[in-house]
Structure 1
Amino acid sequence: MSFLKITNLRKSYGALEILKNINLEIEEGGFLVLVGPSGCGKSTLLNTIAGLEPISSGEIAINGRNVADLPPSKRDIAMVFQSYALYPNMTVAGNIAFGMEIRGVPKDEREKAIKEVADMLQIGHLLDRKPGQLSGGQRQRVAMGRALVRNPQVFLFDEPLSNLDAKLRVDMRTEIKRLHQRMKTTIVYVTHDQIEAMTLATKIAVLRDGILQQFGSPAEIYNNPANMFVADFMGSPAMNLLSATIEKNGDALQVSLERPNAAPLKLPVAPGRDALAGYVGKQVIFGIRPEALTDPDGADRNAQTIAEGDCAIEVVEPAGSDTFAVTKLGMKEVVARLRADAKIAAGQVARLAFNLDKAVFFDPQSQSRIA
């Protein structure tokens, strides 16, 4: 049964529609990440769940109860903001306890809850300090602690790591994942960082211009993007999206990719892509992730359809655990992800392996997935 269910939700400011018929649901203990570019409506959607923004129409149900018309205090949610929103004149303990004091929780219960949360977040040694004496990561832990002591039905996180430096973001991401695994509380988390979305979520909702583009598990979103926007937005480096032509090759299909100063590269289409039969002789967008385009020795030996082709290498970028190579196909730059010790150099023609089990195809007009 869905624990948090959003049905036909719309949000408008006058004539401007911000959220357009959003439908989402997450099971109890799930981790739903709302992701998309700036201005896509993800923070507005979070605020409607919190009750900070009224909805124009639709329903928000938590544990089977419609809360759309209830004030935030009646929804049994707790929110962690991007800005931490700590009281600078209070100690860490005071900040964590403040909400409990307002609700009249007895002192001994408050102190017990503070200790449990402080131990969980490893901030017990900071309880007597003021926020101004803390690092960004420590302040974020305090903000999380203040939410955790409420023991709500749903936690809401609004870009909580965006003010932290890159290394601390990775560390805090791990802490949030560990916290979720331990507490098994339902979480809705907003970010514009698709790496955060992939690593934290049990379900991802990709938004663009107030429209839900795709909703599914991280693996579904990554491997089976519904359209070109999702394919391009999710993944780092992004999916290669190339103009190609579908051709007949006997009884089978093949994809033809233009190459500079060379004949087109012909690659077989993996079995099960029957929808492409209607595109023979037509242009499509051929999508392949960098890790599915590699040196032949590094190709996935479990793949059913691997094809090799010669490509002129323009740039080589060693990245420690991997080497990235840039070539040109379908009149666009293409990124291949090779093994760290792959023997490859800029200016040479190198043989690359295409894992066509992982290839996807899009209609260039509608930008929707074909196969």
Structure 2
Amino acid sequence: MSFLKISHLRKSYGALEILKDINIEIEEGGFLVLVGPSGCGKSTLLNTIAGLEPITSGDIEINGRSVSGLHPSKRDIAMVFQSYALYPNMTVAGNIAFGMEIRGVPKEEREKAIHQVADMLQIGHLLDRKPSQLSGGQRQRVAMGRALVRNPQVFLFDEPLSNLDAKLRVDMRTEIKRLHHRMKTTIVYVTHDQIEAMTLATKIAVLKDGVLQQFGSPAEIYNNPANMFVADFMGSPAMNLLEATVEKNDAGLSVLLSRGGGEPLRLPVSADKQALAAHAGRQVMFGIRPEALTDPDGADRNAKLLAEGDCLIEVVEPAGADTFAVTHLGGKEIVARLRADAHIHAGQTARLAFNLDKAVYFDPQTQARIA
């Protein structure tokens, strides 16, 4: 049974519709990440769950109970904001305890909760300090501690790591993941960072212009994108999307990719992508992730369908554990992800292996997935 259920939710400001018929369900203890570009409606959706924004129509249920008309204080949720929102005149302990104090929790109980949470977040040595004496990461831990002592049904995180530097973000991401494993509380988390979404979530909701583009597990979103927007948005580097022509002959289905004036590259289509037959003789968008396009020695030996082709390498970018190579196919610049020790140089023609088990195909007009 779903623990958090959002049904046909719409949110408008006058004639401007921000959220358009959103339907999402997540089980108890799940980690839902709302992801999408700036202005897509993800923070507005989080605020409707929190009760900070009224909904225009639809419903929000938590643990089988509609909360749509309830005041935020009656929803049994706790929120961690991007800005930390700490009281500068209070100590760390005072900030963590403030909500409990307002609710009339006895002092002994408050002290116990403060120390439990401080131990969990490794901020016990900071309890007597003021926020101005803390680093960004420490302030974020205090903000999380203030939410944790509530022991709510649902935690809401609004881009909590966006103010931190790159290394600290990775560290805090690990802490949040560890915290979730330990506490098993349902979390809804907003971010525009798709790496954050992939690493933290049990379920991801991808939004664009107030419309839910796809909802599923990180693996589903990454490997089986519903449309070209999801394919391009999720993944770093992004999925290669290029024009191809579908060809049908006695040997089966193939796709043809132009190679800058030379002979086109012909790639076979895997047996599970036969829906492409209806597009024979027409153009489609061929999608393949950089890691599925590599040097032949680095190709996945468990792949059922591998094909090779010669490509002119234009740029080589060493990146430590990987080497990225840029070439042109289908009239577009595309990226291949090679082994770190791959012998490849800009200006040479190199043989690349295509893992066609991982290829996906889209309709160029509707941008929806075909196969």
Fold match, TM over 0.5? yes
Q: What does 1:1-371 correspond to in 2, within 5 Å?
A: 1-371=1-371
Q: Report Cα offsets for 1:285-314 as digits up to 9, x if no partner.
A: 000000000000000000000000000000
Is there any run of 5+ residues in structure 2 with no aligned partner, and where?
Answer: none
TM-score, normalised by the number of residues in structure 2: 1.00
Q: Out of 249-258 and 15-24, give the one that drifted further.
A: 249-258
Equivalent residue letter for 1:118: A
Q: Structure 2: how far apart are the matches of 1:329 and 1:96?
A: 56
Equivalent residue letter for 1:206: V
Q: Structure 2: how far apart are the matches of 1:270 and 1:238?
A: 22
* Matched residue SS, 2:26: strand
Equivalent residue letter for 1:352: L
* Matched residue SS, 1:174: helix
After TM superposition, give the deviation of residue 191 of structure 1 in Å. Answer: 0.1
* Matched residue SS, 2:310: strand
Q: Structure 2: how far apart are the matches of 1:4 and 1:55?
A: 16
TM-score, normalised by the number of residues in structure 1: 1.00
* Matched residue SS, 2:287: strand
Is there any run of 5+ residues in structure 1 with no aligned partner, and where?
Answer: none
* Matched residue SS, 1:358: coil
* Matched residue SS, 1:4: strand
After TM superposition, give the deviation of residue 261 of structure 1 in Å. Answer: 3.6
After TM superposition, give the deviation of residue 55 of structure 1 in Å. Answer: 0.1
Q: Structure 2: how far apart are the matches of 1:369 and 1:151?
A: 42
After TM superposition, give the deviation of residue 195 of structure 1 in Å. Answer: 0.2
Equivalent residue letter for 2:123: I
Equivalent residue letter for 2:45: L
RMSD, aligned α-carbons: 0.4
After TM superposition, give the deviation of residue 273 of structure 1 in Å. Answer: 1.1
Q: Out of 269-278 and 221-230, give the one that drifted further.
A: 269-278
After TM superposition, give the deviation of residue 249 of structure 1 in Å. Answer: 3.2
After TM superposition, give the deviation of residue 251 of structure 1 in Å. Answer: 3.9
* Matched residue SS, 2:276: helix
Instruction: List, as ranges, runs of 4+ consecutive aligned residues in structure 1 with deviation greater than 6 Å.
Output: none
After TM superposition, give the deviation of residue 348 of structure 1 in Å. Answer: 0.2
Q: Report Cα offsets for 1:284-343 as digits up to 9, x if no partner.
A: 000000000000000000000000000000000000000000000000001000000000
Q: Structure 2: how far apart are the matches of 1:300 and 1:75?
A: 49
Q: Structure 1: how far apart are the matches of 2:286 and 2:310?
A: 18
Q: Report Cα offsets for 1:19-73 as digits up to 9, x if no partner.
A: 0000001000000000000000000000000000000000000000000000000
Q: Structure 1: how far apart are the matches of 2:63 and 2:284?
A: 44
Q: Structure 1: how far apart are the matches of 2:15 and 2:290?
A: 42
Q: Structure 2: how far apart are the matches of 1:258 and 1:116?
A: 62
Q: Structure 2: how far apart are the matches of 1:249 and 1:299?
A: 27
Equivalent residue letter for 2:302: N
Q: Report Cα offsets for 1:177-230 as digits up to 9, x if no partner.
A: 000000000000000000000000000000000000000000000000000000
Q: Structure 2: how far apart are the matches of 1:17 and 1:261?
A: 47
Equivalent residue letter for 2:281: G
Q: Structure 1: how far apart are the matches of 2:309 and 2:178?
A: 43
After TM superposition, give the deviation of residue 9 of structure 1 in Å. Answer: 0.3
Q: Structure 2: how far apart are the matches of 1:290 and 1:188?
A: 30
* Matched residue SS, 1:272: helix
After TM superposition, give the deviation of residue 18 of structure 1 in Å. Answer: 0.3
Q: Structure 2: how far apart are the matches of 1:46 and 1:318?
A: 39
After TM superposition, give the deviation of residue 262 of structure 1 in Å. Answer: 1.6
Q: Report Cα offsets for 1:156-190 as digits up to 9, x if no partner.
A: 00000000000000000000000000000000000
Percent sequence identity over aligned pairs: 85
Equivalent residue letter for 2:32: L
After TM superposition, give the deviation of residue 260 of structure 1 in Å. Answer: 1.2
Q: Structure 2: how far apart are the matches of 1:289 and 1:325?
A: 13
Q: Structure 1: how far apart are the matches of 2:6 and 2:83?
A: 26
Equivalent residue letter for 1:317: E
* Matched residue SS, 1:83: coil
* Matched residue SS, 2:264: strand
Q: Report Cα offsets for 1:341-363 as digits up to 9, x if no partner.
A: 00000000000000000000000
After TM superposition, give the deviation of residue 132 of structure 1 in Å. Answer: 0.2
| Count of residues in Structure 1 that have an aligned counterpart in Structure 2 | 371
